[in-house]
Structure 1
């Protein structure tokens, strides 16, 4: 029988449904991409949206399962060496595929690429967290079956996932064999010439230690080749329906044989658990994983599914951004929020990778994207997750101190630009390790956390040490010039197309904020909690003269400004460079980094992403509106937006300066970036920073939200394309709902005693007596 799968959906796109993504046919051209989009995760486990039955040798697929933070290491080899270069790379591993299920119908193996697929639908539901696939398939001998599978990765159970796999003979009675396996023969994707794709390793990094099979359970123990972590992959399976034969133990799994009558459904439930010695003592790993899988079996799939739906109901009740007037956009917003929740570490030991847990792009590394792009979304929707992300940075201080010493800093801590467990993994230092601004980015997130939560206990226990240790780096790095200006030389700002410059505006402005905040935190700690101040000062050897140095450097900071153009210069040399010839650059030569030597790019006036424009947002109260408009106009002309981090920031500032059409266009580039694969590399993983940028675009952009020393304020606008939008915020123990329509904005206090805020400069307070207010003026 001819295989019709290649003719089923050559032009398939995902329907615009607000609460799910759904495919109604298999499109071979989009198979790799959809594996990313249909990924399930819980912040620890990530399972790409590949079928349970595997790929059967196809090349246009990536069978990937990942554990956030679980990695191997390898030495970085430099043909030309230099002191202080990063020495060890950490890379996320593809771990055993424990969801593997093989189906045989009267001896014929089911595969999507053989026989005939008569009907097909797959849906990822953002409200239930279930990936459901239903299809009807006719074998080459004419036997027709219905297959319905449901998959979940438990949000409330860090180590657990489960699969329900139901098979119904439709036109025959016969033998159905279902094999529940753990495929441990896995490797990582090789990056090739594109550093954004995967890792540079070849061959397996997991070495088999032991494989155990019991009556219905199995366990695979493996050890990483270099990092030495022990990994346990465990399953427990049970079958219901039909006349069952005794279970057969096979190499790699269990075979369940059933005599099934026509119309009779046979259902396998498979419960999965992963654990590693990065999470617990090595001696506990195997027993823990086995017990978690067994416990999940006792609970049952339906109860796990109900638990999942309840978890997500609470999440959406407080995190949902609702948009009235565009289902495709609403789908994109929900998709982004769902994947952020699936990808973020929440145990204080892990962070959120650039690709989450959906693929191997950037080797699973964490970047400063977390603090500047992702952190605000969780801070205002799930503040406990935001706190855990800061805890991750605290736990990384020892490695950051080591890195500071390698970089010739006698004191302080220097966070790595890209890492998993704390090592600097950037082998190309001009666009990586030279981005010292990450220290200020971490401090910025701590400052924002304090403003949003008032949680000074966290500052006293953890945050002060981070802020003070990282602030020391600026004193060691910078110096005073002959005019008495504090200068920071030979660094790279957020814009990776401009490297190793003097006085990058973003870096200097953020360093000024950082040192001022560090001195303020120390002063408050000394005044309000002298014991905590004494403890922190003793732990890091802090001297009062250092605090004076912070304030002096802050007040003398060199912040480049061109009076003739009326703009803030990106750095001392940016305006003296030859502008990039955009008119002569063919479209296929973007992104520039894949088609031009770095030196060619560095010599030109061209930006990969928001740099000065990002400073306009983060330090908003330090700029006049006219300055913001002039900066936006200038830097928009020279920015390629080759980075997925860029468009959302330009959208926010465009909204603030009154460029409503541009704000919306940039926002739309971000909101469906992965669903529409606009950067043409989503198959290797989603873009988590851009996903969080969608939230920034609504809250910071269209709603004009800012939170700084002046308090919480809004300046909402309504895009012409929408009828209304709404979102909620956790601020200072209160839960605030903001709803904007054509007539104005409603502010409603849902939880908490009182909250002070402002609408377009009009200050007011919500409290138990007046818990809502309608403000009629929009821009």
Structure 2
């Protein structure tokens, strides 16, 4: 059974009723972020029940020493931890001396949470009876400003319902934070200074080893029935890693007392260390000058601008509509495209699991979303991120014994160094190199930006081609080049030989790199000379690459008429997922790793991932054969799996199956399909949900430099629509059960393809 407590709604995520068993899951689902910082939806007040405290600052990390049973040459020295940052949202609340804690209250009624995705705020309300029989109504509103992304705001309202009371507010900033996933129980933060000035509190701390300097700040004001009481703290408590202020207010029955709290972070990534306290005070002054309501109004306007471009509308299916907006909302909370030093972590600002800020997910799944819903500079920044880490990728390859500028991009990274601590991933899941090359191709194909490859991309491609050339082995037995000892996208098989997807993308990378070298030589002569000299690349070396590409081995079954996922796949006991006892699911939580590795079960699209990337290389009949062979063995226990299968099912006109996969990818976290949402959300797969509609149901492709659509619609929907930015022109696609309309912003019609035929998108100003 999937969880089903989230109320279906077009624009909001809503929880009604207080259920302690849901708290940690809801802390993930209702998370907030603004691209620079984020936080789980922890209660501001104390909560002694099960909770997962989480606040995060983009780009700030700690190199936790890898924990392994024994050391291997080339093993990463550390695992980059996404750091649980100092907590600024905390407010201890005493009412007639009794601490407010929903765990200890006599009763909690009318509990409700709402994450308003349209306007970018989170609200919580409830009525509670405390152990001292005081009954209160509580309303809390919180948001993280998109415009002023160092600042967040809380408005916490209490109304006594059965008597006059004394309310004592104790807002605090706490730097005594630990990661739940620390390998060695180490502290990651060291406090340098604590300051308090009037209604503000500050803690300056730095990360050990990486030395990120951060000032966490807060500023507080108290209101009674809308009037600012202009209170100064009655008491100030400074502990080793905490600063707490105290305000006491007498509140009559049915009066409303409010604590307004601004807080956030300023970091040495954006300010000189000696100016951090000043920067924090400036952030507070700006927030106070604007005021809560203006900040909130600006927030609503900023989100409206985002939705104007990135929204996908679905008529007739509220759960599907809620799902896609939930995904789009969290993608925009996680990465804004403003800072090329940042990337899209798999948990974003919602949890600690996995570590690192960058996986192959960015190139394989996320770039299409940001490329089409923002402008091409955002996608170019994501590509530049990898270019800027090329030297580190070369170092990573050198640690494994490669030479001559061969580059192996990391599976997981914060700064370009490999920092994943599972050997079968670190050493063997080398297909990630292919996704990075594919992203360059995908970006160039979509944007028609010819400048990126000569300026930056070709150097990356050369490093990757050199890696594949050296990683391949010539088999005299097969008279072909083989690639041994790898893990493909299906991580339920490790240390296999000739994973088809890995071999195929290796060949493609070499061919594409050679093609781009020739293109740059013809069109960008000075860049060609610069790059060839810098890389010390000769035609003789390129000829050696081509030998590998032209003679790559691909395992194939004549019996089944399909490429084999890898050598030996047919040796497995081929029992389909349909015949697997449901009580054994998910197998990654029920089975030993040994049993999983010997099974035929596929975690995510593997061979079919290649058919997704290189759709043009295969016929529809070949796709059908491979889909019918592999999907029945796929357990979809990776968040990255359902979206690819949804797209391919739509290509095959299997709309019922495509729709089922779409619901799974769009509601993966809302319905907790994989029983792990309490650990955080699956941010990068959310871009795959967008692709399920735009590339799957909408059939969007770029064919011969032209935007092409082959729209289909699930039977459950009345209509759907989306926008894409294609080469700086905004297209709007509207699909209903009766047909398709495509509009383009501006006053000129634009040639497109629709269902395989040439048409003109209708010009329509301000679509």
Determine the C-alpha separation between the residues in 1 that align with 2:705 and 2:618: 14
TM-score (norm 2): 0.92
What are the within-5 Å matches in structure 2 for residues 225-240 of structure 1?
225-240=208-223
In 2, are the aligned partners of 1:18 and 1:330 still within 8 Å (CA)?
yes
For 2:762 and 2:454, the matched residues in 1 are separated by: 29
Q: Answer yes or no: is the 8 Å Cα contact 1:90–1:423 preserved in 2.
A: no
576, 587, 598: which one aligns with 1:592: 587
Residue 64 (structure 2) aligns with: 74
Identify if the C-alpha distance between structure 1 residues 468 and 247 changes in structure 2 by more than 3 Å, giving closer, same or farther. same
Question: Which position in structure 2 is the counterpart of 1:487?
Answer: 482
The CA deviation at 1:547 is 4.0
Contact 1:105 1:175 in 2 (8 A): yes
Task: Spell out, residue by residue over 1:411-454, the C-alpha distance to the aligned partner (whole angstroms, 9 max, x if none).
Answer: 22211112222222222222443111111101111211112222
Provide structure 1 residue ranges, at least 5 long, that are not aligned to the other structure. 1-10, 191-198, 773-779
Q: Is the 8 A contact 1:173 1:262 kept in 2?
A: yes
Partner Cα separation in structure 2 for residue 448 and residue 77 of structure 1: 37
Deviation at 1:282, TM superposition (A): 3.5
Call closer, same or farther: CA 1:770–1:488 in 2, change over 3 Å: farther
The aligned counterpart of 2:158 is 167
- Residues 241-280 of structure 1 correspond to what in structure 2 (within 5 A)? 241=224, 245-248=231-234, 249-251=236-238, 252-280=243-271
| 1:150 aligns to 2:137 (yes or no) | no
- Is the contact made by 2:743 and 2:764 (CA closer than 8 Å) also made in structure 1? no
The verdict on how the C-alpha distance between 1:768 and 1:117 changes in structure 2, with shifts beyond 3 A counting, is: closer
Deviations 1:225-263 (A, max 9, x none): 333322221122223336565323223222222333444
Instruction: Find the residue that maps to 1:238 and give its secondary structure.
Output: strand
1:315 aligns with 306
Q: Are 1:414 and 2:408 counterparts?
A: yes
Deviations 1:262-309 (A, max 9, x none): 444333222112133345543344433343233222222212112211
User: Higher mean Cα deviation, 148-157 or 476-485?
Assistant: 476-485
**Structure 2 CA distance for aligned equivalents of residues 309 and 301 of structure 1:** 12
- Structure 1 residue 200 displacement after superposition: 3.3
Deviation at 1:708, TM superposition (A): 5.1
Give the conservation status (yes or no) of the 8 Å contact 1:734–1:752. no
CA deviation map 1:515-552 (0-9, x unaligned): 23222333333333323333333333333444444445
1:625 Cα deviation after fit? 0.7
Aligned twin of 2:202: 219
For residues 446-485 of structure 1, the aligned pairs below 5 Å read: 446-482=440-476, 485=480
Name 1:502's counterpart in structure 2: 497
Q: CA RMSD in A?
A: 2.5
Mapped contact 1:209–1:222 kept (Cα < 8 A): yes
The alpha-carbon distance between structure 1 residues 598 and 107, as it changes in their structure 2 partners (threshold 3 A), is closer
Residue 93 of structure 1 is matched in structure 2 by 83
SS of match in other structure, 2:183: coil
- Work out whether 1:186 is the aligned partner of 2:177: yes
Match of 2:423?
A: 429
Describe how 1:743-758 pairs up with structure 2 within 5 A.
743-751=738-746, 755-758=750-753
Does structure 1 residue 571 correspond to structure 2 residue 563? no
| Counterparts of residues 330-729 of structure 1 (less than 5 Å) | 330-344=321-335, 346=337, 347-383=339-375, 384-410=377-403, 411-482=405-476, 485-580=480-575, 585-707=580-702, 709=704, 711-729=706-724
Q: How does 1:116-155 map to 2 (within 5 A)?
A: 116-155=107-146
Aligned length: 752
Question: How far has the Cα of 1:208 moved from its partner?
Answer: 1.6
**1:629 CA drift (Å):** 0.5
Task: Give the Å deviation of 1:723.
Answer: 0.9
Q: Is the 8 A contact 1:89 1:423 kept in 2?
A: no
> Is the alpha carbon distance of 1:610 and 1:101 closer, same or farther for their aligned partners in structure 2, counting shifts above 3 Å?
same
2:77 corresponds to 1:84: no
- In structure 1, C-alpha distance between the alignment counterparts of 2:266 and 2:62, rounded to whole Å: 15
1:303 aligns with: 294
Aligned to 1:777: none
Conserved? CA contact 2:28–2:677, under 8 Å: yes
Q: Report the Cα offset of residue 560 of structure 1.
A: 3.0
Measure the CA separation in 2 of the matches of 1:178 and 1:574. Answer: 63
- Residue in structure 2 matched with residue 209 of structure 1 by the alignment: 192
Contact 1:734 1:753 in 2 (8 A): no
Which residue pairs with 1:730 in the alignment? 725
Counterpart CA distance in 2 for 1:590 and 1:68 is: 35
In 2, the alpha carbon distance for the partners of 1:752 and 1:473 equals 48
Secondary structure in structure 1 of the residue aligned to 2:201: strand
Aligned residue for 1:195? none
Deviation, 1:330, is 0.6
Secondary structure at the aligned position of 1:712 is classed as strand
How far residue 364 of structure 1 moved from its aligned partner, in angstroms, is: 4.7
Q: Check conservation: 1:224, 1:230, Cα contact below 8 A.
A: yes
Q: Are 1:488 and 1:508, in contact at CA under 8 Å, matched by a contact in 2?
A: yes
Name the CA shift for 1:486/1:345 in 2 (closer, same or farther; >3 Å): farther
In structure 1, how many angstroms separate the alpha carbons of the residues matched to 2:131 and 2:142? 28
CA distance in 1, matches of 2:561, 2:762: 43
Q: Distance in 1 between matches of 2:388 and 2:270?
A: 14
Quickly say closer, same or farther: Cα 1:24–1:87, change in 2 above 3 A.
Answer: same
Unaligned 5+ segments in structure 2 are none
Q: What is residue 112 of structure 1 aligned with on the other side?
A: 102
Matches of 2:703 and 2:509, distance apart in 1: 14
Q: C-alpha distance in 2, partners of 1:464/1:753?
A: 35
Distance in structure 2 (CA, Å) of the matches to 1:602 and 1:176: 59
1:388-415 deviations in whole A, cap 9, x for unaligned?
3223222222221110111211122211
Q: Is this contact kept in 2: 1:349–1:391, CA < 8 A?
A: no
Q: Could you say which residue in structure 2 is the equivalent of 1:42?
A: 34
C-alpha distance in 1 between matches for 2:347 and 2:747: 36
Q: Secondary structure at the match of 1:361?
A: coil
CA distance in structure 1 between the aligned counterparts of 2:558 and 2:94, rounded to whole angstroms: 75
Q: Deviations over 1:707-753 (max 9, x none)?
A: 25564322211111111111111111111111111122111112585
What CA distance in whole angstroms lies between the structure 1 residues aligned with 2:752 and 2:556? 33
Question: How far did residue 353 of structure 1 move?
Answer: 1.4
Equivalent pair of 1:439/1:471 in contact (CA under 8 Å): no
The Cα shift of 1:585 comes to 5.0
Q: CA deviation at 1:88?
A: 1.4
Q: Give the C-alpha shift of residue 38 in structure 1.
A: 0.7
1:227 partner SS: coil
